Structure 1
Amino acid sequence: MSELEWEPQKNSPVPLHQQIYDFMKKKIINGEWTIGTKIPPQRNLAKRFQVNRSTIVTALDELAADGLIESKVGSGTTVINNTWSLLASTPPPDWISYVKSGIHKPNTSIIQEINKAEADPDIIRLGTGELSPDLLPNKKMGQILQTDNEPSLSLGYTEPKGSLSLRKTVSAYLSTKGIKASPESILIVSGGLQALQLISLGLLNRGSTILHETPSYLNSVHVFQSAGMNLLGIPMDKEGMKSDSIGRLKRQHHAALLYTIPTFHNPTGTLMSERRRMELVEACQKASVPIIEDDVYADLWFDCPPPKALKANDTQGNVLYIGSVSKTLSPGLRIGWVVGPEPVMERLADIKMQTDYGSSSLSQYAVDKWLSSGMYGEFLKETKEELKFRRDFTIQILKKYFSEIATWSTPKGGFYIWLQIQTDLPTRKLFEAALRDGILLNPGSVYDPNDHQHLRISYSYASIEQLEKGLIRLAQLIKNYSIK
């Protein structure tokens, strides 16, 4: 059930229980709450509507008397009727059964809670992996879009692989990273996540096994699981993903491909060493395991550039490379790219045309201008300076308040600090306690179902004041639990 935005009017002559009854009955009659919809527990409703629990009980009793809801011990209260079933001889569709039978797996409950909590403007978001609204280039974006008769601007559909002008610009941009990619080998996508969706739909069979780092961003999205794929984790160390087991895992599990974020890994912030990158490419080539390289954080280095991308050392077309401006320029533009062999890009482009008929032409135009004008490099320099300041500030707070209760490593770029809690406090309980205090966390279980001791701390979104307030309160919550 979605968030309840409505609230009863305390100064109305209509009794509170009647207002709540009328509101819920309208939801049911209008078909917004269909058969099988679960009603939140009485205590939750009382808190949400800021009324006594007895008021909720009265309203629910009246709905039950009308035959609209039913309560069962152990399964809660659900909608059992609505107008259609009251008026028609045939029952209305049971949309809940359709929802449960959809092929795309739902997010885990904790991710759904995170997504809902992010809509609250008052919450302190210590785990959000995107740039703060204060860091986004709104004024400069307006300047770019105020243009007259630019030949590269088209409001119609672009060709299947995306705007040719943008692909040429991306090709030139990638060459500065040592990646040789012609415009024909580049596909413009609506962000990195769509790239993964297209790969899962266009290149893999159901039941395929995907190798990835443990922990991994892949566990926080169900793009491969929903397509019937199996995920298999490979351990990491301070140099990144270990590569010595790839050949064995390929033989034992018939692994279809390997997914990695070698540069400022999500969620750990790890920077894969140059030596490990070479070993990984060599191991995958030897085992005939293609690589998906997710490189969306690579531009966010602070003191010195990271080692070259895996794609830069790929001489056999073994690496599909994913880039994006969502983490560096604007998440709202929804523009990224995939680089790989031309037949693969043509296959993915065909799938993309079947799903959305091309990414936004206006967004493609804007990204083209940012990259080709030099404004992107200038903005990136300012952004990295701000992110480095936020990282250093966060590390200072951690040293002052967390030195006895947690361990961490200082990232050399990107957004994330992988905080390991040294108490027996499960991070799920910590997540719930922090949320009650107006602090939103990203527990390690989001990225590894078996991880109950880590938090992904992001210094990119919350303001300096929020970082300080949120982290100090988080430390208090952990210490209070340890004392009990």
Structure 2
Amino acid sequence: MEWKVDRDADKPLYQQIFEYIEEKISYGEYPPETLLPSERKLAQQLNVNRMTIAHVYDELQASGLVERKKGSGTRVSSHKWGILPKGVTNWRKYIEGGSFIPSYPLIRRIRGEAKVMENGFNLASGKLSSDLFPSEYLQSVLSEHTFPSDLGYEHPQGLLSLRETIASYVKTYYNINTTSSSVLITSGAQQALHLITQCLLNPGDAVAIEAPSYCYSLPLFQSAGLRIFGLPVDANGINPDDIVTLYAKHKIRMIFLNPTYHSPTGAILSDARRKKVLDIAAELGIPIVEDDPVSLISFDNEQYAPIKSYDRSGNVLYVGSLSKVIGSSLRIGWLIGPQSVINRLADAREQIDFGLSVFPQMIANLLLQSPEYPKHLVFLRQELLERRNEMIDALRDILGEKVEFTIPKGGLFIWCKIKKKVDDQKLVEEGIKHKILFMPGSVYGAPNGYVRLTFAHLKKESIREAVKRLAIVLDHI
């Protein structure tokens, strides 16, 4: 919540909060039947005593502005009291309708707590911690350049100079051959996935994704009306023969893979399997979408060639991003594929937003061209390696036989199995109670009892304390 109480004001806190909610209702920002936060949650968001919120809600109810029912929470009144206009749109029906499905409730719960949690530990976020952001490096790069005076609309595919740089970048780091005309700049990797599902597939189409998979947490697949089928993941990634089986049963039309440091398991698709996947997909005429956000974050100096690097027929759509190597707020990703596909997606994106802002594209271009960028990658790998090792040691020392996990060779996460039987909903709630967040495996399509723990979002000195907190949570469920 952006609004804060003014503790220096003469007006009592409960009155400030009452007037704030009253204003929201009168402005129509909280329409009739809007569910207000629970007393505990609002108290936490505003950093006030829960009894203060209870007093506020009592006053709102006495004023006829809200209705309170045990077990149903506190909702804005559906009655037409003087403060409400006579004709009021029932926004609830619209919110619950629409074709784009909201995030899963458990994910919304975790993200909501992440925004208000103080003095806690966030092992759920996929973001890098602030001390890993190259702020000094960025400042030095920006100080040497000026921005253009012409701020008109850019090319639908994105800033040409950045597309040229990315074409060179993927050749240098991934051995992918492409040209600027086959690159589409996107607002992060998820926009690329959204464009693919909306523009290249139809409702009812069957697609294959890894199981478990980060894709299960993205409602964009269900919103597009797609039928999702899983490809089980083992230590070496998916079994390519499973693609043939799925195709025979469901006539899948596209394959979505995250082959290097797979989220959430950390698995690496073996080189032999990568080539076999490519051959099978080509034989069946099924395109592959390769999501590759973290393959540069390697802890063993091993570089795994993307599937796209073997592609000579344009069968792979390659999705990359700077979110995991520079920072997620930069919002720069890219999609590489056949020019006809790129043109189609660029046209769709232009209809939505007329293209990305030129400023983050210019910044990304300057960063990638700077001789300091390779040094930043070396720094990032070393820092994340130390944090991974710290979390491994803490899990072994503190949780011991209570959990099992595979040591990731790169990336940002550790995939952890809790040995005793747990319910993910209760596990998350107990974590929130003890101010520690993590992503349960069920949001990725895994059974209850798995958690994805991020070691990149916390500073190294906080990781052991976070694992201690996790141990307390496991003792209480």
| Common fold: TM-score over 0.5 | yes
In structure 2, the residue matched to 1:383 is 380
What is the TM-score of this pair, normalised by structure 1? 0.90
1:147 deviates by 3.4
Say whether the 8 Å CA contact 1:69–1:78 is kept in structure 2.
Answer: yes
Say whether the 8 Å CA contact 1:38–1:79 is kept in structure 2.
Answer: yes
Instruction: State how far apart, in whole Å, the 2-side matches of 1:372 and 1:286 are.
Output: 38
1:469 and 2:468 correspond: no
Match for residue 114 of structure 2 among 111, 118, 136: 118
In structure 2, the residue matched to 1:146 is 143
Q: Secondary structure at the match of 1:451?
A: coil
Q: Secondary structure at the match of 1:244?
A: helix
Say whether the 8 Å CA contact 1:167–1:188 is kept in structure 2.
Answer: yes
Instruction: State how far apart, in whole Å, the 1-side matches of 2:152 and 2:16 are.
Output: 49
1:410-437: per-residue Cα shift (whole Å, max 9, x none)?
1111101100000112232222112111
Q: Structure 1 19/362 Cα, relative in aligned 2: closer, same or farther at 3 Å? A: closer
Q: Structure 1 290/80 Cα, relative in aligned 2: closer, same or farther at 3 Å? A: same
Say whether the 8 Å CA contact 2:434–2:473 is kept in structure 1.
Answer: no
Instruction: State how far apart, in whole Å, the 1-side matches of 2:264 and 2:223 are.
Output: 22
| Uncovered stretches (5+) of structure 1, i.e. residues with no partner | none
Give the letter for the 2:166 counterpart.
Answer: V
1:219 and 2:216 correspond: yes
Q: Structure 1 431/75 Cα, relative in aligned 2: closer, same or farther at 3 Å? A: closer
1:339 and 2:336 correspond: yes
Higher mean alpha-carbon deviation, 390-399 vs 37-46, is at 37-46
In structure 1, the residue matched to 2:327 is 330
1:315 deviates by 1.8
1:51 deviates by 4.5
Q: How does 1:398-417 map to 2 (within 5 A)?
A: 398-417=395-414
Higher mean alpha-carbon deviation, 269-278 vs 110-119, is at 110-119
1:186-226: per-residue Cα shift (whole Å, max 9, x none)?
11111101101111121111122221101111112212221
Instruction: State how far apart, in whole Å, the 1-side matches of 2:380 and 2:168 are.
Output: 22
Instruction: State how far apart, in whole Å, the 2-side matches of 1:374 and 1:11 are.
Output: 52
1:316 and 2:310 correspond: no
Instruction: State how far apart, in whole Å, the 2-side matches of 1:394 and 1:300 are.
Output: 17
In structure 2, the residue matched to 1:99 is 95
Q: Structure 1 130/20 Cα, relative in aligned 2: closer, same or farther at 3 Å? A: closer
In structure 2, the residue matched to 1:157 is 153
In structure 2, the residue matched to 1:296 is 293
Q: Secondary structure at the match of 2:326?
A: coil
Instruction: State how far apart, in whole Å, the 1-side matches of 2:175 and 2:109 are.
Output: 41
Instruction: State how far apart, in whole Å, the 1-side matches of 2:281 and 2:152 are.
Output: 41
1:338-365: per-residue Cα shift (whole Å, max 9, x none)?
1111100110111111112122212212
RMSD over equivalenced CA pairs, Å = 2.6
Instruction: State how far apart, in whole Å, the 1-side matches of 2:11 and 2:349 are.
Output: 56
Instruction: State how far apart, in whole Å, the 2-side matches of 1:322 and 1:266 are.
Output: 15
1:467 deviates by 0.8
In structure 1, the residue matched to 2:164 is 168
Q: How does 1:188-227 map to 2 (within 5 A)?
A: 188-227=185-224
Give the letter for the 1:37 counterpart.
Answer: T
Higher mean alpha-carbon deviation, 349-358 vs 319-328, is at 349-358
Say whether the 8 Å CA contact 2:26–2:84 is kept in structure 1.
Answer: no
1:452 and 2:451 correspond: no
Give the letter for the 2:472 counterpart.
Answer: Q
Higher mean alpha-carbon deviation, 139-148 vs 417-426, is at 139-148
Instruction: State how far apart, in whole Å, the 2-side matches of 1:10 and 1:304 are.
Output: 55
Q: How does 1:427-442 map to 2 (within 5 A)?
A: 427-442=424-439
In structure 1, the residue matched to 2:247 is 250
Instruction: State how far apart, in whole Å, the 2-side matches of 1:433 and 1:419 are.
Output: 17
Say whether the 8 Å CA contact 2:119–2:435 is kept in structure 1.
Answer: yes
Higher mean alpha-carbon deviation, 348-357 vs 40-49, is at 40-49
What is the TM-score of this pair, normalised by structure 2? 0.92
Instruction: State how far apart, in whole Å, the 1-side matches of 2:176 and 2:193 are.
Output: 20
Instruction: State how far apart, in whole Å, the 1-side matches of 2:25 and 2:79 are.
Output: 6
Q: Structure 1 185/420 Cα, relative in aligned 2: closer, same or farther at 3 Å? A: same
| Uncovered stretches (5+) of structure 2, i.e. residues with no partner | none
Say whether the 8 Å CA contact 1:407–1:422 is kept in structure 2.
Answer: yes
Q: Percent identity?
A: 35
Give the letter for the 2:354 counterpart.
Answer: Y
Instruction: State how far apart, in whole Å, the 2-side matches of 1:423 and 1:285 are.
Output: 43
Q: Structure 1 87/284 Cα, relative in aligned 2: closer, same or farther at 3 Å? A: closer
1:118-158: per-residue Cα shift (whole Å, max 9, x none)?
2235321112212111010111111222234578x964322
Q: Secondary structure at the match of 1:407?
A: strand
Say whether the 8 Å CA contact 1:67–1:81 is kept in structure 2.
Answer: no
Instruction: State how far apart, in whole Å, the 2-side matches of 1:32 and 1:308 are.
Output: 50
Match for residue 274 of structure 2 among 273, 277, 288: 277
Match for residue 183 of structure 2 among 186, 190, 202: 186
1:25 and 2:33 correspond: no
In structure 2, the residue matched to 1:479 is 475
1:29 deviates by 2.1
Give the letter for the 1:104 counterpart.
Answer: F
Instruction: State how far apart, in whole Å, the 1-side matches of 2:131 and 2:277 are.
Output: 38
Q: Structure 1 11/193 Cα, relative in aligned 2: closer, same or farther at 3 Å? A: closer
In structure 2, the residue matched to 1:238 is 235
1:262 deviates by 0.3
Give the letter for the 1:167 counterpart.
Answer: R
Q: Structure 1 362/66 Cα, relative in aligned 2: closer, same or farther at 3 Å? A: closer
Instruction: State how far apart, in whole Å, the 2-side matches of 1:273 and 1:310 are.
Output: 10
Give the letter for the 2:95 counterpart.
Answer: V
1:66 deviates by 3.7
Say whether the 8 Å CA contact 1:34–1:82 is kept in structure 2.
Answer: no
Instruction: State how far apart, in whole Å, the 2-side matches of 1:367 and 1:46 are.
Output: 40
Say whether the 8 Å CA contact 1:31–1:82 is kept in structure 2.
Answer: no
Give the letter for the 1:26 counterpart.
Answer: E
Give the letter for the 2:253 counterpart.
Answer: A
1:50 and 2:54 correspond: no
1:7 deviates by 5.0
In structure 2, the residue matched to 1:264 is 261
Q: Structure 1 19/310 Cα, relative in aligned 2: closer, same or farther at 3 Å? A: closer
Instruction: State how far apart, in whole Å, the 1-side matches of 2:43 and 2:136 are.
Output: 44
